[in-house]
Structure 1
Amino acid sequence: MTRSQCLFNSAIALRQIFISNAPASEGSGRVLLLPTMAVPLRPSASSPSRRLFSTQPAAQQRSKNNRLDTRPKATTAKIMRDYDIIYPWVQVRTEDGKLGAPLRTSAVLKQLNRETHSLVLVVPPRKDDASKGPEYPIVRLVDKKAEYAAVSAAKGPVEQKKGPKIVSKEVELNWAIAPHDLETRMGRLAKFLEKGYRVQLTIANPKKKAKRRATDDEAKAVYKRVKQTLEEMVGTTEYKPQEGLVKQTVIMYLQGSGKPAESPPAAVASSAEEEVPATEQQEGRI
């Protein structure tokens, strides 16, 4: 009895596929290409890195990479004081170093005069029984004035504050100035000196040649009136010596004291009033 051939034999199926497609592929001249997958040139972040040139085992390198940084880091914790202390119980350390009985922090702060003293945390408590440190946080009373003095001494000498800013002004006169203008300039000079300004007073001949020049008596009267104003200004000094000659060019370097002017004596005031008409008459004649 002959056996029937299995229709689903894998060998027969493959033979039929390749033999039947061979003439068609030779005649058509086409090449069937299977789709390919693009392979990345660089390894992805998820793929494990390959050690190209390494003399150490991989386990040792991984242990170095996973090692924690145990270097000490700078702490920016602020010192706890007064109501910033978070612990409900504290032990107060006295000046001789002894520790008192545990007290409630609120009770200590209630009895504390915060205007003169402050409660400062010295040693925090231990975290658990296995850790080292005191059972209760240790605090101490600090005198605020003494603490401020110690901090100031540690910072070094305090720089001296700069004095008030020096304000400089200039007042110019000419020897032939009219009496009314002279009084106006003297009032301005007195205000500058009252405010403590530094004033450079210049008395000279007119710049234009066409203007008349003062006589000797007029120049002396102007100089006398300036000196009278300076005598009325209490505390006015000269920060530099006076320069020049009367009827030529005189420069005065004045430093005001910041004090108001004193009223001139009656005799001086009357003499000044008597000299004004004489000066006006001289100007009228000339």
Structure 2
Amino acid sequence: MKPVPPCIYSPCRALYRVLVPNHPRLVVSSAQTPPPPPPPPTLPVRQVRPYTRPPRRAAARGSPSSSSSSSSSSSSSSPGDGTPDEREAAAAAASIDKRYTTQRDVERSGRDRLPKDHEITDPRIMVIDGGAPEGPLPTPLVLERLAPHESLRMVQPYGAGGDAAAAAAAGPRYAVCKIVDKRDEQARQRALRERKRAAGAGGKPGPKAKTKTKELELTWAIGPHDLATKMRQMGGFLARGLKVELLIARKKGGRQVGGGEADALVDSIRGEVARSGGREAKPATGDAGGAMRLYLEGRQG
């Protein structure tokens, strides 16, 4: 029978290690302590869709694949095709770093705007911040120093400009980007949309913008205070050049109004229309005391 080894964690041995000097300390092997867990993997931050890549279009079922079409198109066009200017432009584009956004990249992107903020992949850019362009500056540094309400917008893409000799002598022309206030830009875009909406559908100016029509309703037995409120609303609409359809009807279970009182109400409404600069677009329909509709319009221009 094997003897039982003494426990190294017994109270007696613990006191012995504390009280007796120069006693060899207990060294716990690394096998008894589990290793620390590895740090979680960090994935690089990338855009889901780069700016310069056009949107993918699903091919119709039964049609040839996009790879075959692209290979056929690339094989059909060779570097020797085209005019000398086109061959020179193609050679210059091939020598440009792919990170720089050129006018050709903007046209191929399928977007109606230039890149902004983290869509800008150019390593160095010229920056406009309320004055003359400065730079070239590193793009990551410019983006890092932006305030929360600021945005970096490209206003001119990268390009050499001029002919090949001038480009070789002057060097590259970096993209020009402008620091804008997001709030001012949103207000400008909102005003632009309002102007397009007022000019006509789709932003195409027509011969005459369509005038909005407002509708107001009141009863023949309306009180003076409510009548003044309705007339103030009608006058505001007419002053803005809008059309107004005013319906005067009897209220079910309300006070009955005689012919003289109804005619007086219509006369007061027409007087308020004249004071507001409006007029009747066409004759009124209905009868006084029943259901009557007035067609009014404000001053134009």
TM-score (norm 1): 0.34
- TM-score, normalisation: structure 2: 0.32
